[in-house]
């Protein structure tokens, strides 16, 4: 969460393209990269990025259960992200030393995880669940909890979140848009990453 202000969230099914994409993001100053387990080749993409992209810290997103957690770790994931938090996932993550960023959308969920000793969480789906104003309202009663909001964040609204005291970084897919990936416009993606990596937090 501290490596850069933005964690790119990737939905990608082409292993070769995922390596080029990760290189473009790292070149733009975004080393922490989340590959969501939403495609059949996501695990292969994680393995390829982990093996071939210098400077990348690749993690798995959309981790929904311990079986996916194990596959992701075996492929080389350095961190795991989930849209929510089940007791099963939390228990499984205690048996590994790979950090888990679980998701919450309410004060009660965040308090429940804090009771488990987890005080850095994902706020998901950020925009739809109340946006930066909602997260700001949580900072006063829950000052010990820090967030990585994700969901509907883009170049226009990222700063609204990053300026909050309880936000460490944001996640989003806007730095790796589908059309640029399909065109193989890696220089364009590096430009987007550069702009994102320079956002103040």
| Active site residue ranges | 34, 122
User: How far is 27 from 132, CA to CA, in rounded Å?
Assistant: 29
Distance CA 7, CA 5 (A): 7
The conformation of residue 167, written as its DSSP 8-state character, comes to: B
Nearer to ligand 3PG, 23 or 122 (CB): 122
In whole angstroms, the minimum distance from the beta carbon of 128 to ligand 3PG comes to 9
Helix ranges (DSSP H) in the chain: 15-27, 42-52, 66-74, 87-94, 107-115, 126-129, 131-139, 158-162, 178-183, 186-197
Residue with Cβ nearer ligand 3PG (29 or 61): 61
- The kind and range of the H/E element at 61 are strand 57-61
Q: Nearest approach, Cβ of 153 to ligand 3PG (angstroms)? A: 6
How near is the Cβ of 152 to ligand 3PG at its closest, in Å? 5
Q: Nearest to residue 19, comparing CAs of 181, 183, 177?
A: 181
- Tally of CB atoms within 10 A around 64: 14
For residue 5, give both structure tokens. 């202000």
Our CB check for ligand 3PG shows the closer of 11 and 107 to be: 11
In the complex with ligand 3PG, the residue whose CB is nearer, 174 or 186, is 174
Binding site for ligand 3PG (CB under 6 A): 9, 36, 61, 124, 150-153, 171-174
> What's the closest the beta carbon of residue 73 comes to ligand 3PG, in angstroms?
19
| CA angle (139 as vertex; 134, 143 as ends), nearest 5 | 155
């Amino acid at each position: 969460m501290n490596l850069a202000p933005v964690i790119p969230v990737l939905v990608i099914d082409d292993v070769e393209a995922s390596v080029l994409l990760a290189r473009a993001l790292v070149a733009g100053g975004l080393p922490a990269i989340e590959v969501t387990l939403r495609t059949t080749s996501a695990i292969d993409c994680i393995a390829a990025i982990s093996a071939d992209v210098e400077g990348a810290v690749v993690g798995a997103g959309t981790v929904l259960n311990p079986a996916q957690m194990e596959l992701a770790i075996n492929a080389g994931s350095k961190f795991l992200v989930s849209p929510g938090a089940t007791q099963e996932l939390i228990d499984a993550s205690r048996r590994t030393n790979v950090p888990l960023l679980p998701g919450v959308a309410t004060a009660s969920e965040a308090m429940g995880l804090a009771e488990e000793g987890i005080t850095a969480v994902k706020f998901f789906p950020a925009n739809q669940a109340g946006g930066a104003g909602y997260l700001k309202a949580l900072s006063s009663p829950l000052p010990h909890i820090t967030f990585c909001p994700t969901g509907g964040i883009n170049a226009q609204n990222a700063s609204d979140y990053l300026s909050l005291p309880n936000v460490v970084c944001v996640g989003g897919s806007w730095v790796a848009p589908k059309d640029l990936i399909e065109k193989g416009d890696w220089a364009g993606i590096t430009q987007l990453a550069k702009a994102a990596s320079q956002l103040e937090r």
